[in-house]
Amino acid sequence: MPQYRRNFAPGACYFFTEVTCGRRPWLCLDLARNALRAAIVKVRRHHPFIIEAWVLLPDHLHCLWTLPQSDSDYSTRWRLIKSSVTDEIGHVVGAPSVSLSRRKRGERSVWQRRFWEHTIRDEADFRVHCDYLHFNPVKHGLCIAPRLWPYSSFHRFVREGRYEPDWGSQEIPFGIERVAGE
């Protein structure tokens, strides 16, 4: 069994990738988006974090979170969010059958067990991960420009002047090939 090493740095900014079980494409459904939004609101009440950037695709999501200065427990936050979504809509979006391994652990077939995490090192690393995240729908052929994907913080970044509206429409942003986690 591989040893998973996670970096836990209080107050850090983290890039995450979460994937649906079997890459089932349910995350962009209205009921899934609503359940995910409600789960995040509920978890943030007791375990605050700042959502710096986000993109939701049919079978996975990417996001950047900043945790409070004295806190590095992103695993609990993800466990609570995923559990809440599963409790709310798992009966609709989960796979019809659950493997023996998952049944033994009391799991349902909604999310992959693990998630990808990367601790953001500096401002340049933050920018590259934001660019990767916002360009991801184009990379996966879901649209031809980031502005055309509705489930993304790209639109907030444009309003804030951090991107031009046509950003990512003409060329692949520099540096995004370094990002892993899919």
Q: At what angle do helices 30-46 and 74-93 cross, to 10 degrees?
A: 150
Q: Which of 4, 14, 132, 151 is an active site residue? A: 151
**d(C-alpha 67, C-alpha 155), whole Å:** 23
151 is catalytic: yes
Annotate 152-164 with b (16+ C-beta within 10 A) or e (fewer). Answer: bbbbebbeeeebe
Rounded alpha-carbon distances, angstroms, from residue 165 to 22, 92, 148, 161, 170: 34, 36, 10, 9, 12
**Residues annotated catalytic, as ranges:** 151
